[in-house]
Structure 1
Amino acid sequence: MARQVTNSTFEELLRAAGYENAHAAFARQLNHAGRDQGTWRYDAASIYWWLRGRRPGEHVQAAMAETLARKLGRSVAITELGFGAGDSIGLCVYPVTVDGAIDTAEQIWTRLTKCLSQQASGAFDSGKALEAALGWRYDLPDQAVSRNGRQQVTSTDVQSLYALADHFTDLDRRHGSGSPRTRAIMADFLVRQVAPMLHGTYTDAVGRDLMRAAATLSGQLAFMSYDAGDHATAQHHVTLGLRLAKAADDNLYGAHLLANLATQAVFMGHARGAARLVEAAIDGARRAPAAVLARLHATAATAYGQSGERRACQLALARAERALDRAGTDPGPRWVGYFSPAHLAGAALRCLGDLHLYTQALRHVPEALTLGCQNTRTRALHTALIAVTHARAGNTDAACSWGRKLAQNSAGIQSARVQQRVRELTTALSPQQASPQVTDVLHTLAAMPAAASRLERERARTSRLPSQM
């Protein structure tokens, strides 16, 4: 006697797609969709048990959604399959196909527009991060990404997306991303403009450039979410960006995104996972330009420093320094132009401090502050790092002096990362709070959130799309 169907949602989707009496055919299509994941041998019996309560893995659900979407002619969210486990199912899964990446993009951008007003939720998943790294590094390249859809997409259309990415990058560096305003505008644009372009008509050449532009926007939104402390959203967008970069056949930008994911992992305290991620990035970047290598090795140094691997950390720092010395003649892509000697000095401060090599760390202070005026948030982060390093080294007077500078440099910045550095400084100084100057600095640091209202006024003035958009 057959068991009763318990997943009526999945049953209805199969019926709508014409698979009601063709479960074996659906299983064959699913096996084909998952061919890059290894040899899948699902059959009609698999469908039988899924309809009756068994739950396939999230990577299988992603392939199921892609298979149904192709038959139905519309996007199918993984949450529509009826297998439960919340809104974030599949959002961290590295998409198997380009079509899957496009559908995932629309899904997570739409979801973000609806939930940005809510409290940030979700945790960083180091296991999913490693799965994404492996997919990006070892999956076969996409043979073609051309598409026939409703909207014609040209190279001029794609160039406008890069201009938008530059606009939001500048806002992020100057003001931080703690307020949802800028991310809300960006997410809305992605849903209304970029998602239809991805579903449009384009040649293979235009399509690869479109994937690269979409990866750039997704990567920027990921970094902004990370800076805001919304770590699940950040990870979802890096995972998507990696798949889009793969479709664009852009190994360098994919390596950059993977290094961003490693940076987030360091922030969350997943040092060993971060090291594995950045090692995959370095391996995948192959013969990268010197500027890109400098950035990747600097990220590796921070991971090794946090995990206490002194020799590996110092070796990575030395490699980053040598690469940056060559960057003048081998500058690399435009997006890596931000990485300067000051950024490398900040990484050295961080990782040497983590290794308790405070004297060596503090030698990098002058260079860590040689930043352009647009790098407001980085200046605040480095100032806080200098103050924390002095405090941990027992230099209370210097720590207090830099703590006062931090309060000045952080005015108008809203960033969870800056707030975390402030907390680190407060913790480091608290044992000395009997000192009047320490008490004064702690009161000053406690008052810093008052700058938020000024930030909101500035964002209201500047968070407009560029005129060419």
Structure 2
Amino acid sequence: MARPVTNSAFEGLLRAAGYGNAHAAFARQLNHAGRNEGAWRYDAASVYWWLRGRRPGEHVQAAMAEAFARKLGRAVAVTEMGFGANDNIGTCGYPASVGDAINTAEQLWTALAKHLHQGGGAFDSGKALQAALGWRYDLPDKTVSRNGRPQVASSDVQSLYALAAHFTDLDRRHGSGSPHTRAVMADFLVHQVGPMLRGTYTDAVGRDLMHAAATLSGQLAFMSYDAGEHAMAQHHATLGLRLAKAADDRLYGAHLLANLATQAVFLGNAKEAARLVEAAIDGAGRAPAAVLARLHATAATAYGQSGERRACQLALNKAESALNRTRADTGPRWVDYFSPAHLAGAALRCLGDLHLYTQALRHAPEALTLGSQNTRTRALHTALVAMTHARAGDTDAACNWGKKLAQHTAGIQSARVQHRVRDLTSILSSQQASRQVNEVLHTLAAMPAAT
């Protein structure tokens, strides 16, 4: 069933110009007009999605206005076409084509570099599930090669991976609460990566470039999530998912889908999170053990939050079994971070959600056996240990861990860490008659908030 038209202004111009029933012809006019931009491959499907809310890049809109002007014999302003203001990043829909993904990247990165839309909007579970379906079942891209400027070589792409690793390390050590780091990253994407996506490259180099861009977009998504900017995080994760599809990398796509599931769990959308991670596991197929361990651990947190005890325990067992096989079955480099401590943290979280506090706390020692670079994760897991003790009724232990939490959060800017601090404070507040509890509450209240 066709979706209803939402851009009536664009539809009216198509009809007036004689393209009402000739969407493919209009797309060919655009492709001809954009021959200097590279190999534009718009078609009738592109027009279909523009009529239903997707917003092409500004350069594409300019070409559209010229095409309409030639047919109508008058000047046509870009604002007449109903795509909204230039700073509008639209909805977090899954791009239909590689060209649409490149346009979306341009819009998203520019908006963030200009400090637009920060903190606004909410996570849309329906859009996330639509993206999962598109990623899982859309046909693969036949080619991603382009002819434009500049020329892109394999060595250029490798430098992008190095940058992504740098931002990942900064994020894990210091958190992403400060908008400065994300703005710097977005500025790099606008001025360096965007032009590369519109350059000249072979299919092989293009697939690698799409993967590098997906990695950067995925990292930016996770940083936005850590900063509490959930709509922006979903935008970047969905874009990364489409770029991973273009790269023909189902494993990284599954990883990004699991990140969306993790965000859904954080926001209390357990049922939707379970569906997202189930799609990720299905799409990953016969994945390396480390990837499967990460995916099943995410599934466990979703099942735990929704109260599905049997499914949660089964997912934890699968994650543990997969993690035990990682030495003989190495995975891609981006999953190297997932360690026994991360699995223990997931177990601590989901078993606590199921009110199995004794079982949960058995995982506490391993959850804190983290490398020095995992500063934020250490703070998150410490808060989780304190909260689990508090919920189990062991106030003394909760206070002791609360004091340690205050030490571990120094220098970290993270909305997620602050959220767990607030949760711990809320649990302990019912026992303010205790001097020890009051001291911990005072210490936690004195902690600097994420900016």
Scaled by the length of structure 1, the TM-score of the pair is 0.84
The aligned amino acid for 1:419 is Q
Which residue of the partner structure matches residue 115 of structure 1?
A: 115
**Shift of the alpha carbon at 1:298?**
0.1
Matched, 1:276 2:275: yes
**Shift of the alpha carbon at 1:114?**
1.5
Contact 1:66 / 1:99 at 8 angstroms: preserved in 2?
no
Which residue of the partner structure matches residue 36 of structure 2?
A: none
The aligned amino acid for 1:100 is D
Matched, 1:343 2:342: yes
Residue by residue over 1:67-114, the C-alpha shift from the partner in whole angstroms, topping out at 9 and shown as x without a partner, is 86776799xxx9984165996564401000000000110011001112
Q: For the residues of structure 2 that align with 1:425 and 1:85, how far apart are their CA atoms?
A: 43
Which residue of the partner structure matches residue 459 of structure 1?
A: none
Q: For the residues of structure 1 that align with 2:8 and 2:223, how far apart are their CA atoms?
A: 39
1:338 partner SS: coil
Q: For the residues of structure 2 that align with 1:182 and 1:73, how far apart are their CA atoms?
A: 38
Q: For the residues of structure 2 that align with 1:264 and 1:335, how far apart are their CA atoms?
A: 19
Distance 1:12 1:263, change over 3 A: same
The aligned amino acid for 1:57 is R
1:23 partner SS: coil
Residue by residue over 1:397-442, the C-alpha shift from the partner in whole angstroms, topping out at 9 and shown as x without a partner, is 0000000000000000000000000011001111111100000000
Residue by residue over 1:375-408, the C-alpha shift from the partner in whole angstroms, topping out at 9 and shown as x without a partner, is 0000000000000000000000000000000000
Tell me which of 20, 24, 34 is aligned to 1:23. Answer: 20
Distance 1:335 1:8, change over 3 A: closer
Which residue of the partner structure matches residue 467 of structure 1?
A: none
Matched, 1:57 2:52: yes
Which residue of the partner structure matches residue 103 of structure 1?
A: 103
Q: For the residues of structure 1 that align with 2:381 and 2:348, how far apart are their CA atoms?
A: 8
2:336 partner SS: helix
Q: For the residues of structure 1 that align with 2:66 and 2:348, how far apart are their CA atoms?
A: 53
The aligned amino acid for 2:253 is G
Alignment of 1:206-245 (within 5 A): 206-245=205-244
Which residue of the partner structure matches residue 377 of structure 1?
A: 376
Alignment of 1:32-181 (within 5 A): 33=43, 35=45, 56-58=51-53, 61-62=54-55, 81-82=81-82, 90-115=90-115, 119-181=118-180
Q: For the residues of structure 2 that align with 1:79 and 1:242, how far apart are their CA atoms?
A: 30
Matched, 1:422 2:417: no
Contact 1:91 / 1:108 at 8 angstroms: preserved in 2?
no
1:140 partner SS: coil
Scaled by the length of structure 2, the TM-score of the pair is 0.87
**Shift of the alpha carbon at 1:22?**
3.4
Q: For the residues of structure 2 that align with 1:427 and 1:197, how far apart are their CA atoms?
A: 49
Distance 1:11 1:131, change over 3 A: closer
Residue by residue over 1:138-194, the C-alpha shift from the partner in whole angstroms, topping out at 9 and shown as x without a partner, is 000000000000110000000000000000000000000000111010000000000
Q: Which runs of 4+ in 1 moved over 6 A?
A: 63-67
Q: For the residues of structure 2 that align with 1:212 and 1:377, how far apart are their CA atoms?
A: 26
The aligned amino acid for 1:224 is M
Q: For the residues of structure 2 that align with 1:114 and 1:21, how far apart are their CA atoms?
A: 38
Gaps of 5+ in 1: 1-6, 43-54, 457-469
Q: For the residues of structure 1 that align with 2:87 and 2:279, how far apart are their CA atoms?
A: 29
Contact 2:290 / 2:330 at 8 angstroms: preserved in 1?
yes
Q: For the residues of structure 2 that align with 1:269 and 1:447, how far apart are their CA atoms?
A: 27
Residue by residue over 1:305-342, the C-alpha shift from the partner in whole angstroms, topping out at 9 and shown as x without a partner, is 00010000000000000000001111200000000000
What is the percentage of aligned positions where both structures have the same residue? 75
Alignment of 1:279-428 (within 5 A): 279-428=278-427
